[in-house]
Amino acid sequence: MVLFDHDDDKPREECGVFGIFGNHEASLLTALGLHALQHRGQEACGMITFDGKRFPSERHLGMVGEHFGGDLRTRLPGHAAIGHNRYSTQGRTILRNVQPIFADLAGGGFAVAHNGNLTNSRKLRHDLVKDGAIFQSTMDTEVILHLVARSTGKDFLARLVDALQRIEGGYALVGLTGKKLVGARDPVGLRPLILGKLGDAYVLASETCALDIIGAEFVREVENGEIVIISDKGVESYRFAPQRPTSPCVFEYVYFARPDSIVQGRSIYEVRRRMGHQLAAETPADADVIVPVPDSGVPAALGFSEASGIPFQMGIIRNHYVGRTFIQPTQTGRQSAVSKKHSPNRAVLEGKRVILVDDSIVRGNTSKKIVQMVRDAGAKEIHFRSASPPILNPDFYGIDMAAKSELFAAIHTHEEMVRELNVDSLGFLSVPGLYTAIGEPQRNPMQPQFSDHCFTGDYPTPLVDNEHAESDKERQLSLLDDA
């Protein structure tokens, strides 16, 4: 699931998922994979393995390195495992809301974890509870578990297909039974899921960086609307939705994916650098120095520098021991972390005309603080540049995007944003420019190549829960808050 970094005003990412089948160090490899995916969620982590008889499990609040080390093979033995990094978009971060979750079904044990958000889970949950289902968490993941359990399909695959055909939204799912590792990706392809191979073992993960850390090779992306079942027979593929062009979340390119990951055959680092090239062409400014807002603004700032000829300098230093502030769930924690996380490099900033480059602006809270910090360090002028278009609409697919009423660009004119930020000029990458940077000749308005609804309002799936919600909070969260 994905949330916005209220302190960094970044889109707080969906969760990260990882699974492996056919290696007796499955838990160790899963811990490494989750460590590589730590940027996708740092509130909680969990793992379930299968040792031939049992499904050992651990779920923890906090980060992977704090919990999954030491005698892991003894605690979580087995040749197969699934793991999850959480950033909550649904329900408070309490232990019962940590994935993976497990249930004994008629055909045996089934563990599941997913990245994303279901846009009809409130309605499904209501119907299930009315029919006698008992929920133990507020996660939409549990809705999937109940749907599989209640399906009358003739076998596990049929029951899983039945469940997936009833849900709407964006998701990448990993599941584990006593005989199989399962992966599934939503019909639109909003959330990423890849297939890899390590010797005779197969791996499922949210990003290629999780393959790199364990030395696995990339095989392919799981297709939108596809189920992959990995067993002793190898990999089998099934479709649960009609084939259609994929439309992944464009924020994978803007912010979510790690710079060293490959998405759709494209280097995330190179795409972000080209965003900087395009941004420089569209929003030039006379300045002495290009300064990124670290770390996510670095590739775009490098690209801006290359295209403009203005020197690139690290005018802001990030303290990497604070952690990504979007992982802090309270506004107080996020606000206090700004000064701990970023420090001005006065030698670079004093007396200079500065172009500040960041990947996006959400609420504007951190951007204001960064600008003020740079002014206090003696900058002569500040020109703020965002390497993504203005964010005008909330997300309902796993990004904990602010309500529309809190989105900086949605509630201010351009002139008001300039005044609010206290900058000399402000520029955003255009939507066509974003597509150009990713490598598309132009955006197809009839069927966009990427899910860019945060910029355009063009949502790729029905928003069932949103249409019946009575408040912004209900529109953002498909399920009820914890009591």
Write the burial class of residue 153 (CB in 10 Å: 0-12 exposed, 13-18 middle, 19+ buried): middle
> In 3-state terms, what secondary structure has residue 120?
coil
User: Does the N-terminal peptide bond of residue 100 adopt cis geometry, omega within 30 degrees of 0?
Assistant: yes
Cα of first residue to Cα of last residue in the chain, in angstroms, is 21
Residue bearing tokens 């005779």: 200
Calpha distance 133→150 (Å, rounded): 9
Calpha distance 418→249 (Å, rounded): 28
> In 3-state terms, what secondary structure has residue 290?
strand
Residue bearing tokens 């529109």: 475
Say whether 45 is catalytic. Answer: no
Amino acid at 295: D
Indicate which residue of 15, 45, 249, 454 is catalytic: 15
Amino acid at 385: R
> In 3-state terms, what secondary structure has residue 82?
strand
Calpha distance 11→257 (Å, rounded): 11
Q: Is the CB of residue 35 less than 8 Å from the CB of residue 64?
A: yes
| 44 phi/psi in degrees, rounded to 5 | -160, 160
Q: Which residues contact 211 (CB under 8 A, 6 or more apart)?
A: 33, 194, 196, 203, 205, 217, 218
Calpha distance 130→480 (Å, rounded): 15
Query: Under the phi-then-psi rule, with left for phi > 0, alpha for psi from -120 to 50, and beta for the rest, what region is 332?
Result: alpha
Residue 216: DSSP 8-state: P
Write the burial class of residue 305 (CB in 10 Å: 0-12 exposed, 13-18 middle, 19+ buried): buried
Calpha distance 339→342 (Å, rounded): 6
Output the CA angle 106-109-111, nearest 5 degrees: 125
Q: Residues with catalytic annotation?
A: 15
